[in-house]
Chain A
Amino acid sequence: MSTNIPANLKYTKEHEWALVEGDTVTVGITDFAQSALGDIVFLEVPDVGSELKLGNTFGVVESIKSVSDLYAPVSGEVVAKNSDLEGSPEKINSDAYGSWLIKVKVKNTTELNNLLTAQQYQEFCNSSH
């Protein structure tokens, strides 16, 4: 499967992308993830003010066929959520990297070191298929 993996972003093995700007991380799902899910029809993400814990589920993305959990790439407080996606989650299918889900204010910046680089993520995608 050919996938689009921008070099300026960081990634997780749960197929999420993270844009790190200082202590704020913008989170979405990767092109690989949207393609694997198919038509996305439902999205559930936490409200602003919610606390996320690294590795814990923080929301759900559903395609017609399946339900997938979202896992927190970092610990911290949700400072924004993308309300544009609420009525039209299918935007994630057409533009996975333009469709951010939430922004998180990172509690412990050392956690950022756990994120994968674009190259590491590419290798992970290759090795798991």
Chain B
Amino acid sequence: MSELLKTSLHEEHVKLGAKMVPFGGWDMPVQYTSVKDEVIAVRQKIGVFDVSHMGEFFLEGTDAEKFADYLVTNDILNAPHGKAIYSPLCRENGTVVDDLIVYKLRPGKVLICVNASNIEKDFNWMKAQHKGFDCTFVNKSNEYSLLALQGPESYAILKPMMKDLPEIEYYSVFETSFGSHTVIIARTGYTGEDGFEIFGSHAAIKEMWQKLMEKKVTPCGLAARDVLRLEVCYPLYGHELTDEVNPFDAGLGWTVKLTKTNFIGKASLETKKAKYKLVKLTLDKGIPRENYPVMDGQGNVVGSVTSGTMSVVTGKGIALARIEIDKAPKDEVFNIDIRQKAYPAQLTKKPFVTGGHK
């Protein structure tokens, strides 16, 4: 196995006594003190995550927005500048290469943030589509570090640290100064809470991390991040989204804008019907885990868990599960097979936890 990559904050994590684990080729903090405490910090106050392992691609030039719009399924062209747009990135056959966020920084400048484990795959895929568009397309993942500051106190903590930080809307982005550094600040995140993601040079982010530690912001690891995103039912690539499914299969039909003139995968997605649906299941007893079989009331396997854990907020087992639509039970009775025992699971329509983002 090749050497694990380290973020610019690696030393800081080790100093704080974080438990480090390999994740997508990186040596990342999975937890500092306790997953529970870290989740609660974000839901009730504030927490900070080092997510510098994620990838940053920059599109610059006349066709920057046009190129981004052609690459992804969601509508980039009609969104105003200063907006962030979540979208799947699909192949011609409609399957998902990755899910990502497109940041429309200003006319002729777009930032695309992608999953760490998919940086190379995404870049190669996008690069192959680049021909004919009048813009540069550069992978700057190695030049950027990224912090996710999440929780209801995020704005109050961040505001005095910045030269200028207006109350931008959720899913907006803003370029500003932090000390002598230029940083990109977006009101986005992966927890369902209000919060900001800050892209900057390694030096800028290290300085910001240290300031946040001085302000006693709780450092949070990947384990808390996974619980937080699952509590609010956000998909994770490699789990709810894979190379084998299309956006409809993962409940992301709302991100596929078939009214757009053209985008990769449009022809195929126009004729596609979902083969699967993603359901939310809650268990009073037992903790569902990835790949556990999901059964109907008669014991027939109808799908499997894509992500599962115990919710810190509700104290119950929670799961997202991929169900074959043809086999979905009409009576909505589900059981999850945990170590060869059927545990009753309740279908829920709303996310397990309601985040506080604006």
B35–A42 touching, CB < 8 Å:
no
**For the complex, is B34 an interface residue (Cβ under 8 Å from A)?**
yes
Residue of A nearest to B223 (CB): A65
Within 8 Å by CB of A65, from B30, B286, B339, lies: B30
Q: Which label, helix, strand, loop or mixed, suits the secondary structure of the A interface?
A: strand
**For the complex, is A48 an interface residue (Cβ under 8 Å from B)?**
no
**For the complex, is B310 an interface residue (Cβ under 8 Å from A)?**
yes
18 A-B contact pairs sorted by A residue (CB < 8 Å): A38-B31, A38-B34, A38-B223, A41-B310, A42-B286, A42-B310, A62-B310, A63-B35, A64-B223, A64-B227, A64-B309, A64-B310, A64-B312, A65-B30, A65-B31, A65-B223, A65-B226, A67-B287
Residue of A nearest to B289 (CB): A67
Among B56-71, those with CB < 8 Å from A are: none
Contacts of A65 in B (CB 8 A): 30-31, 35, 223, 226, 309
**For the complex, is A77 an interface residue (Cβ under 8 Å from B)?**
no
Q: Which label, helix, strand, loop or mixed, suits the secondary structure of the B interface?
A: mixed
Residue of A nearest to B19 (CB): A38
Complex CA–CA separation, A38 to B35 (angstroms): 7
B287–A42 touching, CB < 8 Å:
yes
Among B273-330, those with CB < 8 Å from A are: 286-287, 289, 309-310, 312
**For the complex, is B6 an interface residue (Cβ under 8 Å from A)?**
no
Extra contacts, 13 of them, besides A41-B310, A60-B339 (Cβ < 8 A), are A38-B35, A38-B223, A39-B36, A41-B287, A63-B35, A64-B309, A64-B310, A64-B312, A65-B30, A65-B35, A65-B226, A67-B287, A67-B289
Which A residues are within 8 Å of any B CB, using their own CB?
Answer: 38-39, 41-42, 44, 60, 62-65, 67
Distance of A5 from chain B, by nearest CB (Å):
20
Distance of A94 from chain B, by nearest CB (Å):
11
Distance of B20 from chain A, by nearest CB (Å):
12
Complex CA–CA separation, A105 to B227 (angstroms): 40
Contacts of A44 in B (CB 8 A): 339
B35–A62 touching, CB < 8 Å:
no
Residue of A nearest to B39 (CB): A64
B34–A62 touching, CB < 8 Å:
no
Contacts of A67 in B (CB 8 A): 287, 289
* 3 residue pairs, one from A and one from B, having the closest CB atoms: A64-B35, A41-B310, A65-B223
Complex CA–CA separation, A42 to B286 (angstroms): 8
Indicate with 1 or 0, residue by residue over B79-102, a CB within 8 angstroms of chain A CB atoms: 000000000000000000000000
Complex CA–CA separation, A60 to B289 (angstroms): 13
Indicate with 1 or 0, residue by residue over B14-46, a CB within 8 angstroms of chain A CB atoms: 000001000000000011001110000000000
Contacts of B35 in A (CB 8 A): 38-39, 63-65
Contacts of B30 in A (CB 8 A): 65
Contacts of A64 in B (CB 8 A): 35-36, 223, 227, 309-310, 312
Complex CA–CA separation, A65 to B223 (angstroms): 7
- Residue picked from A41, A42, A65, most chain B C-beta under 10 Å: A65
Contacts of B310 in A (CB 8 A): 41-42, 62, 64
Contacts of A41 in B (CB 8 A): 287, 310
